[in-house]
Amino acid sequence: MLVIEHLHKSYSTTQGKLAVLQGVDLQLARGASLALMGESGSGKSTLLHLVAGLDRADSGRILIDNQPLDGRLESAMARWRREGIGLVFQQYNLISSLDVAANLSFQARLAGRLDRQWLDCLATRLGLDSLLQRYPEQLSGGQQQRVAIGRALAARPALVLADEPTGSLDEACSDEVLALMLQLVGEAGSSLLMVTHSPRLAARLERRCVLHAGRVRAEPR
Amino acid sequence: MNPLLITLQALLSHWRRHRLQFFSIFTGLWLATALWTGVQALNSQARADYARAAAVLTGPGQAQLLARDGERFEQALYLQLRRLGWQVSPLLEGRLRIAGAHPLTVRLIGIEPLSLPSTAAVAGIAIPAFDLQAFIDAPGQAWIGPDTLQQLGLNSHEQATSSDGQRLPPFVVQPQLAPGVIVLDIGHAQALLQAPGQVSRLLLAGESRPLPADIAQRLTLQTPGDDGDLQRLTDSFHLNLTALGLLAFVVGLFIAHAAIGLALEQRRGLIRNLRACGISLNTLLLSLTLELGVFAVLGGLAGVASGYGLAAALLPDVAASVRGLYGAQIAGQLSLPAGWWLAGVLVSILGALLAGVSSVLRAAHLPLLALAQAQAWRMAQGPWLRRQAMAAGLLLLVALGCWQWGNSLTSALILLATLLLAAALLLPALLDGALAWLARGCRGALAEWFIADSRQQLPALSLALMALLLALAASVGVGSMTEGFRKTFIGWLDQRLSADLYLTPQDTTQALQINAWLAQQAAVTVLPGWRAEIRLQQWPVQVQGIIDHPAYPARWPLLEQSPQAWAQLASGRGFMLSEQLARRLGLRLGDSLELASDTLTVVGIYADYGNPKGHLLVSAGWLRAHLPQATLSALSLNLAPERIAPLKAELQQRFALDDSRVVEQATLKRWSREIFNRTFAATTALNSLTLGVAGIALFISLLTLSQSRLGQLAPLWALGVRRRQLAWLSLGQTLLLSSLTVLLAVPLGLLLAWCLVAVVNVQAFGWRLPLHVFPAQLLHLAVLGLLTSLLASAWPLWQLARRQPSELLRQFADEA
Amino acid sequence: MKPSLYLLIGLLLLSACDQPAPAPKSFAGLGQDAAAFKQVTRNQPLVFPLDHAAHNGFRIEWWYVTANLTDRQGRDWGAQWTLFRSALRPGAETTGWNSPNLWLGHAALTGPGGHQSSETLARGGIGQAGVEARPFRAWINDWSLQGSDDTGRLQMSANGKGFNYTLNLVSTGPLVLHGAQGYSEKSGKGQASYYYSQPFYQVSGEVERYGQRLAVTGVAWLDREWSSQPLAPEQSGWDWFSLHLDSGAKLMLFRVREQQGAPYRAGTWISANGAAQALQGEQIQLRELAWSKQDNGRKVPTRWRVQVPEHGVDVQVDALEPKAWMQTRFPYWEGPVRFSGSVSGRGYLEMTGY
């Protein structure tokens, strides 16, 4: 479903050009899950941002269902983000002016694919039923991440992209949230690309690959 | 290194990265100080000039003897009193037109320095310090203020000539002398004014005794304080200016407050780190205070300099205002004492403290270990809105009290202030309510977000919006008042000034001669005006006696009248009086008044705008019978248009009347309108400046907000909302908030206008104006308000639209 | 007497008092006109009663009465009545404010426990002040000195804050001409004035202080002097005595102090029948014995030793009221004195320039 071919990306910094991705190749089948690992600065977040259409690659291609993602058209990228994917970041996920219920349904409504039943199911499964009228700042970190996950899945996107989704949670909480996420991603029928530096968490996904010096070094079995 | 220095260095490093904030705080303090000190400069200059006017002659007692008929009298009375041991000093006063490049009519004051008490002073010069020989002997001296000399376009060594060809004594410049005044020896004054042996009044030093009977028939004692002095008369005007200045000051402080608060928010992490590194709280607070002090001094210096410029630019208008309203002379030039500059900087420091004290206190209470997190705004917002609404309620109660029971200018201004402040405090709650109401009608995720996010921005923007509200409301209020006044005044003027030619004869004798001569001219209608000056309850009042003529009912607009008012007036049983006087005396239609041992009934009340004295209208017959000192001082003529110019020329030639004594209607109207326009020029200018400052406040608030807004907008962008769309939405939010503010400002401004015309004007001037609403003006101001906010939001939004994705990405990636 | 008054009037009327040393500029008009004023010359006989009146054409002139009085309780009082005339320019008196004359009146009452003084000013030309000869009448505002043509009988009245007096003067002797038939020199450099006196007045009348009226009797002395020349600038002040000796004789003495060098001394011995003998230089010995501090801090000699050996006079003169300070625009000391020694009596002392 997702095919990445020879992806290059570099940033200009004060110290000169910094090549972050230097020819990345990767595939992800529909419904599959992949953990993207690597040291800090290895480019894993950059790769995720490129796939999410938040940034544009210098060269190479990203194919979604054999259709290339055209980074030149902002409208197309915005549409891809709106309708094609669900995003979960480590933090700064939620819209602080909206309550939990509005946050949960926000993207589904943006995408025009609001499914009340599925949303209620998500809220229940994520344990958010009693928190729907609250505002993000009134929630704990774990609760906030559950809302973010719910929002990402509300429109049943083809692909869920998660960047250290449990990075700011403690171990027990993080395991619980990840388990919930994997379960729901499965129920939604979405594929999952998750960036993590924790081998323990990565082990719970179907596949893992390690990014090193801008390339996919190995995909341990 | 000293911990204080380290702390300061660390704190100040912030401004290198946030120059904009630096300029915001600076601009706030600068504008606040500039407008405030500017207004203060105007006021203090004017007050100094009133003091100069009052100090033309100062002495222990200010009692004086005046002729009962208000005219000059022979100096034999002076000698008689002197021989009886009265410590009196003669004074002759008159107007003299000085010829030259810039002809000017000045007030000539002839004094007699030998008989003035040695404790007296003339233009700040003590009597014993007089160079008597030079002053009284030929050619004598003509003391003049530097500004008057400049107005005349003469040098101090040039000798001036009066318009009738007499040479004045050589000038001696006295810096303390009031503008428009020339002081000289009484002997020289009698010659110049062609009043040999005549004096205008006798100044009395020491205690007064009963006057001898024969003199008491001629002269009357006037004790100090009887005269409605300039200071008191003009207080209301200056209070108005001060109120406007204060408004501008508050608006300027809003800017500084917002920027200082933001700077603190952004430096929370830094402050925590400094504290963690062992910097004591005291050192930190001292550093923050010092930093504030630096801002205050910088802003203060810039502000005082601009304030001076502002005052210099507005002074001619203010001078025209007080001349038009009160006949008070103030110089067209600023000369301020050194203390004024210092006071300006002190005001800036005070302002900086006001604007920054809450931030410094917040820094003091900053928990050492708390995580940096967005403020729990929603939890705080509810109580915040409630508290403000409660304060507003209290203020409204005060306003209500002032309206119901207040009867002074101060209470009227408190009414205005509380009303404005209450409206400002209510604004966030009202806006929040309006947004909440709008939210109910919203469908769609973005629309919901649009409203919810606008509500979230309210606390940060509310100060700027309050500033906008106050400035706009003041513009609407003052604009409506001014326009309304203009409309009323011009209409009144058109009716009142309906004669073709106005004559001011030199004295009654000449007036009677002219009247007799005019009676022989064909097709000329003459309306003689008999005048007398009296005092009613210590207030100077002009009594005008008119003949029974159909012109008056047609031309003299009445605010209120009894049936058959004009007939009753002509019969000598009734009288009419000006609105101011009626208010002052508490008279209404049908009330009666004891006047010159007769009792008259009020049959009409008319407007008499711009007259600081009271005005009474009676029949000429009654006036001449009951107030023998009445003089025939004005003649109004109606005649065919083509005959005006020849008749004027003939009158001038036959009776030796100069241009100032024969005036055509058009000229008189032009003068009046010029005075009117200049009267409100300073007010209007200050008003526009305040609106500009409010615009800047909004701009700076939005600009500072736009940085923290990124965190709010980035998730939306990540969820697939385009940048341009985000920019438009943000613009929409600003416009929504400012439109609502403008919508609230219009009724508030009208309320303000009502307060001005119905309460403040009545207290300040004694007249009440009808409230006019000018829709075009309102629309104009509303659009101006929206444009201001549009301009204010344009730059920050343009910045937002231009944000690179990487900057938005950083919102997510920073911590990853 | 009173060479003083050249300076006094010069400083008082013709220039600003805050300039102790008048700049030549402020006297510019005066300097030019100085020659035009009438000059004092020797051998110019005085003519009465005309010379009782004002001498227009001379720059400066005064009428000066000092009275030593006693109330019924035997307490000493002193009364002073002075009228100065000062001309801004030479020329006759005119009618109107452009008159050249300025008038200045000083009055004082000294009695048990105090001294009060008063000052009044007036312009000439409008009738506010002046002096006429027939009948004699000198007045300024409500103060006056008037009576018979020959000044043999005068009524004198003046008032000030908290005091007033009305005194009747009757002369018992002739007018006395000082110097050379009325030509009185004031320095070795030729400054002079016309100067005559009437020292033989018997006085009765009333004085009133703070509402208390007292009948008084005593003696009085009228001084008349006019001139056009100011004193030399180096003359810093003067001390002047008019003494009524119990023997019936009268003595006038003055000393003009020089900034450097010996003071100029002159005087007149007047015998009880009115015969005058001019005194000069070493004939007169004046020495300060004790000083009194005035309210304004200045120290003034109020006890003197006065000697005129030729007439056997060696007396100690004591001020009745050591603080007889005239707090006028140009302040000076003037008050009644008592003296004793070789002869006793009473009189007046004036001191300026302290």
- Segment C27-48 shows an average pLDDT of 68
Rounded to the nearest 5°, which phi and psi values hold at C316?
-105, 125
**Looking at the DSSP assignment, which residues form a beta bridge with residue B598?**
B595
**pLDDT for residue B691:** 74
Which residue shows structure tokens 């603190």?
Answer: B264
Q: What is the pLDDT of residue C266?
A: 92
B814 pLDDT more than 50:
no
pLDDT at C24 > cutoff 80: no
Assess whether pLDDT exceeds 80 at residue B58.
no
C1: pLDDT strictly greater than 50:
no
Contact residues, chain A, for B446 at CB < 8 Å? 110
Mean pLDDT of A112-136: 90
Distance CA B360, CA B290 (A): 11
> In the block, which residue shows the tokens 């928990």?
B367
**711-740 of B, contacting A, C-beta below 8 A:** 711-712, 714-716, 718-724
Domain span including residue A96:
30-55+73-206
Give the model's confidence band at C155: pLDDT under 50 very low, under 70 low, under 90 confident, else very high: very high
Return the structure tokens found at B614.
């009271």
Least confident window among B328-342, B380-394, B395-409: B328-342
**Residue predicted with more confidence, B253 or B415:** B415
Confidence class for position B99, pLDDT limits 50, 70, 90: confident
Residue B472 token pair: 């706009």
C177: left (phi over 0), alpha (psi -120 to 50) or beta: beta
DSSP B414-455: HHHHHHHHHHHHHHHHHHHHHHHHHHHT--SHHHHHHHHHHH
The Cβ of residue B333 has, within 10 Å, a number of other Cβ atoms equal to 14
pLDDT given for residue C79 in this prediction: 97
DSSP-derived letter for residue A69 is -
Residues of B in contact with A11 (CB under 8 A): 806
Q: What chain C residue is nearest to B197 in terms of C-alpha separation?
A: C96
User: What's the whole-number mean pLDDT along residues C248-254?
Assistant: 95
- Dihedral angle over CA of B343, B346, B347, B350, nearest 10: -160
Instruction: Give the model's pLDDT for residue C29.
Output: 30
A106 chain-B contacts, CB cut-off 8 A: 445, 449, 719
Confidence (pLDDT) at B375 = 46
Q: Which of B192-206, B405-419, B566-580, C165-179 has the lowest mean pLDDT?
A: B405-419
Whether omega before B139 lies within 30 degrees of 0, making that bond cis, reads yes
**What is residue B212's predicted lDDT score, i.e. its pLDDT?**
86
Q: List residues in chain A touching B: CB distance below 8 A.
A: 11, 45, 49, 52, 54-56, 74-75, 78-83, 87, 89-98, 102, 105-107, 109-111, 135, 137-138, 163-164, 167-168
Which residue in A87, A219, A55 sits closest to A155, CA to CA? A87
**Percentage above 70 pLDDT, chain B:** 87
Cα three-residue angle B687-B692-B698, rounded to 5 degrees: 130
Instruction: Give the integer Cα–Cα distance in Å for B209 and C274.
Output: 47
Q: What is the pLDDT of residue B191?
A: 92
Q: Which chains, if any, share at least 3 CB pairs under 8 A with chain A?
A: B
Judge whether residue B404 has pLDDT over 90. no
Query: DSSP character for C153?
Result: E
pLDDT band at residue B232, thresholds of 50, 70 and 90?
low
Residue A38: both structure tokens together: 């690597």
Alpha helices by DSSP H, listed for chain C, are 4-13, 28-34
Q: Which two tokens stand for residue B310?
A: 């502002």
Q: Give me the numbers of helices (H) and strands (E) for chain C, helices first please.
A: 2, 23
Residues of C with CB under 8 A from a CB of B: 13-18, 26, 29-30, 88-89, 96-98, 100, 102, 121-123, 126-128, 139, 141-142, 159, 329
What's CA B494's distance to the chain center, in Å?
26
Number of C-beta neighbours around residue A10 at 10 A: 17
Domains of chain C: residue spans and CATH: 4-351 (2.40.370.10)
B350-359, B520-529, B776-785, C2-11: least confident range: C2-11
* More confident call, B267 vs B323: B267
Nearest residue in B to A103, CA atom: B445
Dihedral in degrees, nearest 10, Cα atoms C239, C242, C244, C249: 110
Average pLDDT, chain B: 80
The arithmetic mean of pLDDT across residues A135-146, rounded, is 85
Q: How far apart are CA B746 and CA B532, in angstroms?
A: 47
**Confidence band for C343, pLDDT divided at 50, 70 and 90:** very high
Q: Contact at 8 Å (CB) between B27 and B696? A: yes
Residue B764 has φ and ψ, to the nearest 5°, of -80, -40
Where residue C32 falls among pLDDT bands split at 50, 70, 90? Answer: very low
Extents of the domains making up chain B? 63-223, 237-370+378-491+672-813, 496-668
pLDDT at C175: 95
- End-to-end CA distance of chain B, in Å? 36
Buried b / exposed e over C69-99, threshold 16 CB at 10 Å, is bebeeeebbbbbbbbbbbbbbbeeeeeebbb
| Number of domains composing chain A | 1
In a domain, A44, yes or no: yes
Which residues, 6 or more positions from C63, have their beta carbon under 8 angstroms from its beta carbon? C82, C83, C131, C138, C145, C222, C223, C224
pLDDT for C4 equals: 40
Distance CA B6, CA B386 (A): 42
Of B79, B84, B85, Cβ closest to residue C126: B79
Q: Is the pLDDT of residue B723 over 90?
A: no
pLDDT at C189: 74
Quote the ipTM score.
0.87
| Predicted confidence band of residue C143 (pLDDT cuts 50, 70, 90) | very high
Task: Name the E strands within B99-163.
Answer: 104-111, 121-122, 125-126, 142-144
Task: Please state, rounded to an integer, the average pLDDT across all residues of chain C.
Answer: 86
pLDDT digits (tens, 9 = 90+) for B118-140: 777 887 777 777 888 889 888 89
Q: Is the dihedral of CA B425, B426, B427, B432 positive or negative?
A: positive
What pLDDT score was predicted for residue B707? 65
What is the Rg, in whole angstroms, of the alpha carbon atoms belonging to chain C? Answer: 19
Residues of chain B positioned with their CB less than 8 A from the CB of C159: 85
pLDDT over threshold 90, residue C253: yes
Contact B716 A94 (CB under 8 A): no
Q: In terms of pLDDT, which residue wins out, B323 or B341?
A: B341
pLDDT score for B796: 74
Where does the pLDDT of residue B537 fall: very low under 50, low under 70, confident under 90, or very high at 90 and above? confident
Contact B128 C96 (CB under 8 A): no
pLDDT of residue B235: 65
Contact between A110 and B719 under an 8 Å Cβ cutoff? The reply is: yes
CA dist., res. B182 & res. B200, Å (int)? 16
What letter would DSSP give residue C230?
Answer: P
CA dist B604 → B74, B492, B561, B770, C6 (Å): 39, 16, 4, 18, 69
C-alpha span between B716 and B691 (Å, rounded)? 34
B154 or C274, which is more confident?
Answer: C274
Determine how β-strand C285-293 pairs with β-strand C299-308: antiparallel
Are 3 or more Cβ–Cβ pairs between A and B shorter than 8 Å? yes
- Running DSSP on this structure, what letter comes out for residue C309? G
CATH number of the domain within which A108 lies: 3.40.50.300
CB A2 within 8 A of CB A64: yes
Region C218-240: mean pLDDT is 84
Indicate whether C10 pLDDT > 80: no
Q: Which residue of B has its CA nearest to A164?
A: B816
Helix, strand, coil percent values for chain B (each to nearest 5): 60, 15, 25
Which pLDDT value is given to residue C341?
95
Phi, psi for B14 (deg, rounded to 5): -55, -40
